[in-house]
Chains A and B, each alone.
Chain A
Amino acid sequence: MKYSSQSVAMPYFIAAIGLFVGQIIFGLAMGLQYVVGDFLFPEIPFNVARMVHTNLLIVWLLFGFMGATYFLVPEEAETELYSPKLALAMFWIFLVAGAATILGYLLVPYSTLAEMTGNNILATMGREFLEQPLLTKIGIVIVALAFLFNITMTLLKGRKTVISIVLLMGLWGLAIFFLFSFYNPGNLVKDKFYWWWVVHLWVEGVWELIMAAILAFVLIKVTGVDREVIEKWLYVIITLALVTGLIGTGHHYFWIGTPGYWQWLGSVFSALEPIPFFAMTVFAFNMVNRRRREHPNKAAVLWALGTGVMAFLGAGVWGFLHTLAPVNYYTHGSQITAAHGHMAFYGAYVLVVLTMISYAMPLLRGRAANDERAQVCEMWGFWLMTISMVFITLFLTAAGILQVWLQRVSDTPMPFMAVQDQVSLFYWMRLWAGVVFAAGLVTYLASFFVKGESKPLIHA
């Protein structure tokens, strides 16, 4: 750690990991509800569990992005953070608001929560991933603006590197596109159309900028490869991401009441969306193969390579699988979508945040890298989580293919619930893979508490 204000990243990382644990607990509960339908009913119905599962994911990734930014920007800008106090204040505001929202979901009926929080003044709730009460949404905007102000001011007074500029563009884009979550017209087609301007332009647009910037930063640090080289790659990757991803939004406009030409536009451009992810994989391996130093933090290198591979598999390959309109006609809104969603989020965004945590946490704790045994434990966590996520994805894909076959393709289509009974074996297998994932997460957590000789800071 080169600047003392980088240490504000620490609480952000801890909160991120804590919320990640919560997300997995609710994920397991839902996995069980898929096969034992009345589990936890009526205390925690499926819709509440799912809302908590997905909202926790979004919030902890945001915590991770912010922590990563607070660690990365001072080091890149070669100056202290503009205001560490503001960063800490925002941390507590965001944490309290986030916790209050989750408690609200769990303790109050959703419609009551909506009435209590001003949803009748401006109705924004009840749409997938954007379930947050109006107050929380406004809070997110305020926290994001304070955060962006802090980071932008830091960058303005320091060195402006490509990595920090790209990261900042991604974060500004994140804040700007979130504003579309306040637009909820009565016309369902318009509602859905602009809903994607938040969801798609986040995960297949500006988040890719954030992800590529964080990955580039860690790769510079652990491989010692020339900054010039890495920054050129960074530009190429994000160019490809936006060129394909912007019009690629069209793959969500096939069947929601929008004109038919989106089937062509969306198919062609989103079919090219794997290219930036492929470039990212090649990039990560290329840089590690040409490394100029052996960084003592081997775990961080593993996470970085894992990000490249899993993002390509989850977002690239599993996305391509069902992105062409004639295929999507049958797979839209089936378990195939769920399979893709799980591996893409894990591979691209969970792993990139964990990569950053793995690299930065030892430094924040005053060492270049953790003890060998702690690293081995961490790497076990990586493999357990990653392999079980591959299996979760495969089981959901199998369930999805069978579901599509019985319910959509067949000449004598079966009703939804009858099909769910037919595929329940795969849901059981998915649940067990989920249990292994949780074991991997526990292993990962344990690695933070493995004592031993840490590597001194000299090489950092």
Chain B
Amino acid sequence: MSGTFTKAMARNIFYGGAVFFFLLLVALSFDTMSGLPKSDNRANLTESVLRGKHIWETRNCIGCHTLLGEGAYFAPELGNVYPRRGGEFIKAWIKSQPTGTPGRRQMPQFNFTEQELDDIVAFLKYTSEINTQKWPPNIEG
């Protein structure tokens, strides 16, 4: 049967290739995990940051904003909003929503406590200090 295309061979190549590349992915993931302490800013992963992340998630912020470029593209990138605007501005901004300007995009009012606002800012500050290989290209995100 030389020169033909046997199904058994195609099958063997599929199983071999799939296992081979999956193992490669697992090996690379191990290496990534062991290298993360240098880039993921875990030293600053405080209780306040963790509470902030929880608030970020339970208000579905990702449904409009991007964070490190991932999310919806309806509202500004927030991975670098801390260096762009500063903590006080962020808190004042959240408190003043929605603007109610006719025809403009609106952000809901979440009625956060002062503590919750501080937690959100802590989370955004921590996020902005992750080593993202110099992304985004500029401060506008």
Measured CB to CB, the nearest residue on chain A to B135 is A255
Contact mask A44-56 → B, CB, 8 Å, 1/0? 0111101100000
Q: Please tell me if the beta carbons of B62 and A408 are within 8 angstroms of each other in the complex.
A: no
Given A45-B106, A189-B130, A243-B17, A231-B32 contact (CB < 8 Å): no
Partner of B138 from the list A236, A263, A413 (CB cut-off 8 Å) is A413
Q: Within 8 Å CB of B113, what residues of A?
A: none
Q: How far is the CB of B89 from chain A (nearest CB, A)?
A: 13
Q: Within 8 Å CB of B140, what residues of A?
A: 407-408, 413-416
Q: Please tell me if the beta carbons of B36 and A126 are within 8 angstroms of each other in the complex.
A: no
Given A37-B105, A111-B58, A187-B45, A46-B63 contact (CB < 8 Å): yes
User: CB within 8 Å of B: which of A30-80?
Assistant: 33-34, 36-38, 41-42, 45-48, 50-51
A291 touches B (CB below 8 Å): no
Expressed in whole angstroms, the Cα–Cα distance for A183 and B104 within the complex equals 37
Q: Within 8 Å CB of A228, what residues of B?
A: 7
Q: How far is the CB of A78 from chain B (nearest CB, A)?
A: 19
Expressed in whole angstroms, the Cα–Cα distance for A37 and B97 within the complex equals 14
A443 touches B (CB below 8 Å): no
Given A45-B108, A187-B40, A333-B69, A126-B132 contact (CB < 8 Å): no
Q: Within 8 Å CB of B39, what residues of A?
A: 189, 257-259
Q: How far is the CB of A171 from chain B (nearest CB, A)?
A: 15
Q: Within 8 Å CB of B25, what residues of A?
A: 246-247, 249
Q: Please tell me if the beta carbons of B74 and A46 are within 8 angstroms of each other in the complex.
A: yes
Q: Please tell me if the beta carbons of A37 and B58 are within 8 angstroms of each other in the complex.
A: no
Expressed in whole angstroms, the Cα–Cα distance for A45 and B106 within the complex equals 8
A452 touches B (CB below 8 Å): no
Q: Please tell me if the beta carbons of B98 and A41 are within 8 angstroms of each other in the complex.
A: yes
Q: Please tell me if the beta carbons of A47 and B7 are within 8 angstroms of each other in the complex.
A: no
Q: Within 8 Å CB of A242, what residues of B?
A: 14, 17-18, 21-22
A6 touches B (CB below 8 Å): no
A290 touches B (CB below 8 Å): no
Stretch of A138-146, A334-342, A358-366, A384-392 on the interface side:
A334-342
Q: Within 8 Å CB of A416, what residues of B?
A: 75-77, 140-141
Q: How far is the CB of A229 from chain B (nearest CB, A)?
A: 9
B88 touches A (CB below 8 Å): no
Expressed in whole angstroms, the Cα–Cα distance for A184 and B25 within the complex equals 20
Pairs A–B under 8 Å by Cβ, sample size 19: A46-B64, A47-B62, A50-B74, A51-B60, A51-B63, A126-B58, A188-B67, A193-B32, A254-B133, A255-B68, A257-B36, A258-B39, A259-B31, A263-B133, A332-B136, A333-B68, A407-B140, A414-B140, A416-B75
Binding site for A on B (CB under 8 A): 5, 7, 10-11, 13-14, 17-18, 21-22, 24-25, 28-29, 31-33, 35-36, 39-42, 45, 49-50, 53-54, 56-64, 66-77, 98, 100-108, 110, 126-127, 130-133, 135-141
Supplied contacts A232-B5, A263-B133, 10 more A-B pairs, CB within 8 Å: A33-B105, A111-B58, A115-B58, A186-B49, A187-B36, A189-B40, A235-B13, A243-B21, A255-B68, A334-B73
